[in-house]
Structure 1
Amino acid sequence: MRRTVGLGLRREFLTDVLAAPAEVGFWELAPENWFPRGAKAYRQLDQLREQTPLTSHGLSLSIGSPDPLDIAFVRQVKAFLDRFDIAVYSEHLSYCSAGGHLYDLLPMPFTKEAADYVAERVKLVQDIIERPLVLENVSYYASFATELSELEFICTVVEEADCKLLLDVNNVFVNSVNHNYDPYAFIDALPSERIVYGHIAGHTEEAPDLFVDTHGADVKPQVWQLLEHAYRRHGIFPTVLERDFNIPPLTDLLSEMAHIDDSQQRVERCSDARLQTTSA
């Protein structure tokens, strides 16, 4: 498996992976899932990172929250990233706290004021962690304010904050169905230079106009097609297969990850063929 193909690290198969390294380009983990687990867990991560690079995708930063930014938490994240030599820290362009933890990722209002607010908080986080913050486009099921489009809001935040982007292709597809827009045009309009890596995952179809991003099913064919389009438009970027529920055996996940590898190789072959034609 290429080093540009990653998998979300889950406890269900951690023991097996430590015993026999899996063919995974890199592992993605949530720092806050490891903070309270003690010395044994840290030893496991040390062993794992000797086999395979690590990257991180947080759950609790709540970058868009009306609450003050949790500086102590951000410093804890920074210490974790430094401890395990993790260069990339990604989070959700959303919020999960307001006067307390809400246990869900809620969408931001798409307004210039909200974009400015988030951008300032992102800058503060980046100053503390001494790395770019990588923000993920999220799925959402209701719009609280639409002064800006989803696309305009994302582009405004990453430009003002001078941060990076995690392109979740499944979220684009789910939102395009739920909010009636063209997912290909959406991806085309994203800034290539901001995209650090990507996510792909499964979703459920509750109704013809209501898809839910569950991370609990196989990736749909339409989403594989959209991922390949994103590679053609923005170049090949590292991509993580996410699976949080109904987790199958690791061998099944590795088989599904091979689709990412296949897509990247197809795009490379097409690019090489175009270069050869041009040079001829």
Structure 2
Amino acid sequence: MSDTPSKDPLGAGLGLRRALMGPLLSMQEGAVDFLELAPENWIGVGGRFSDGLSTLGERFPFVMHGLSLDIGGPDPLDMNLLEGVADLIRRFDVPIYSEHLTYCAADGHLYDLLPIPFTDEAVRYVSQRIQVVQDFLGMPLVLENASYYAQAHRELDEATFINAIVEESGCELLLDVNNVYVNSINHRYEPVAFMEALPLHAVRYLHIAGHYDEAEDLKVDTHGTDVIDPVWALLDEAYARVGALPTLLERDFNFPALDTLLSEIEQIRSAQQRRDLPAQKVSL
């Protein structure tokens, strides 16, 4: 990795999944602006997958979005994981490492992303762990506002909790637009007002995804379907407040043809272009 930090990618990106490796390798130049990989799925990987990763890394910028850092959990931070993350950052000159503002372990991995209690004590605890990660990697940790279905304990509302962590730790925010939408249905709040209460100055990039309708008042964040119109509309609202920041389309399973995913990439680009268009002169 060079001594000069790489710049954030622009535009619209797609999640790098092993099931998509073949289609991504055959993808035309410029079809996406960047790829996002989960480091846990690539640390120590050899053979054809490593070769494919290297090929894609030569063609597209990478960002990283982790799954198991467990920033809010009671177990010690996994420094072996962070060593592997640091190796990938150096190998591919990755400018962004993001994770979830959740916990996922307690005496071992739980294989789920669970909500942290919204308390002042948790703010202090999580912020200290964030600072350890940031000092180790020499870069800000970017944390995603999480989807959740039940909250164990709260002294603070979610937006206040997130603001306090950003202020105390100096971390940055990955604004997941679909999570805002899903939570707004499940927890009955107005999504734009919630978004406006977040520390939008700290947003580094955005996620958008599909979800599953379990019931009219219960949405499940699956990343296994197409993005729906209300989430596209909420993305427009986000761009109006933070600008057309780089945005990642998440799809984790139930993969359609690559052309279908690329059509959603084009929808992201269209929304970004609408936001960035200069004001038109009006003739009176």
Q: Same fold (TM over 0.5)?
A: yes
Q: Which amino acid aligns with 1:10?
A: R
Q: Which residue of 2 aligns with 1:37?
A: 45
Deviations 1:228-276 (A, max 9, x none): 000001111100000112111111100111111111111222xx217x5
Give the SS at the match of 1:273: coil
Whether the aligned pair in 1 keeps the contact of 2:166 and 2:199 (CA below 8 Å) is no
1:176 and 1:170 map into 2 onto residues whose CA distance is 10
Give the SS at the match of 2:35: strand
Give me the identity figure in percent.
54
Whether the aligned pair in 2 keeps the contact of 1:3 and 1:24 (CA below 8 Å) is no
Alpha-carbon shift at residue 121 of structure 1 (Å):
0.1
Q: Which residue of 1 aligns with 2:28?
A: 21
Q: Structure 1: any 5+ residue segments left out of the alignment?
A: none
Q: Is 1:273 aligned to residue 267 of structure 2? A: no
| Worse-superposed segment, 46-55 or 218-227 | 46-55
Deviations 1:152-187 (A, max 9, x none): 111111111101100000000100111111110111
Q: Structure 2: any 5+ residue segments left out of the alignment?
A: 1-8
Q: Which residue of 1 aligns with 2:88?
A: 80
Q: Which residue of 2 aligns with 1:168?
A: 176
Q: Is 1:60 aligned to residue 68 of structure 2? A: yes
Deviations 1:84-114 (A, max 9, x none): 1111000000011001110100110111111
Q: CA RMSD in A?
A: 1.7
Whether the aligned pair in 2 keeps the contact of 1:107 and 1:138 (CA below 8 Å) is yes
Q: Which residue of 2 aligns with 1:253?
A: 261
Q: Is 1:228 aligned to residue 200 of structure 2? A: no
Q: Which residue of 2 aligns with 1:110?
A: 118
Give the SS at the match of 2:46: helix
TM-score if structure 2 supplies the norm length? 0.92
Whether the aligned pair in 2 keeps the contact of 1:31 and 1:80 (CA below 8 Å) is yes
2:222 maps to which of 174, 189, 214: 214
TM-score if structure 1 supplies the norm length? 0.93
Q: Which amino acid aligns with 1:152?
A: T
Whether the aligned pair in 2 keeps the contact of 1:204 and 1:212 (CA below 8 Å) is yes
Q: Which amino acid aligns with 1:149?
A: D
Alpha-carbon shift at residue 45 of structure 1 (Å):
2.1
Alpha-carbon shift at residue 70 of structure 1 (Å):
1.2
Whether the aligned pair in 2 keeps the contact of 1:7 and 1:242 (CA below 8 Å) is yes
Alpha-carbon shift at residue 39 of structure 1 (Å):
4.9
Q: Which residue of 1 aligns with 2:98?
A: 90
Give the SS at the match of 2:149: coil
2:200 and 2:67 map into 1 onto residues whose CA distance is 25
Q: Which amino acid aligns with 1:221?
A: D
1:189 and 1:20 map into 2 onto residues whose CA distance is 39
Higher helix share: 1
Moved over 6 A (4+): none
Deviations 1:184-228 (A, max 9, x none): 011112223210000000011111221111101111110000000
Paired residues, number: 274
2:27 and 2:211 map into 1 onto residues whose CA distance is 30
2:168 and 2:259 map into 1 onto residues whose CA distance is 42
2:27 and 2:202 map into 1 onto residues whose CA distance is 35
Q: Which amino acid aligns with 2:240?
A: R
2:213 and 2:50 map into 1 onto residues whose CA distance is 39
Whether the aligned pair in 2 keeps the contact of 1:21 and 1:51 (CA below 8 Å) is no
Give the SS at the match of 1:91: strand
Alpha-carbon shift at residue 20 of structure 1 (Å):
4.1
Deviations 1:98-153 (A, max 9, x none): 01110100110111111111000000000011111000001000011120111111
Whether the aligned pair in 1 keeps the contact of 2:10 and 2:245 (CA below 8 Å) is no
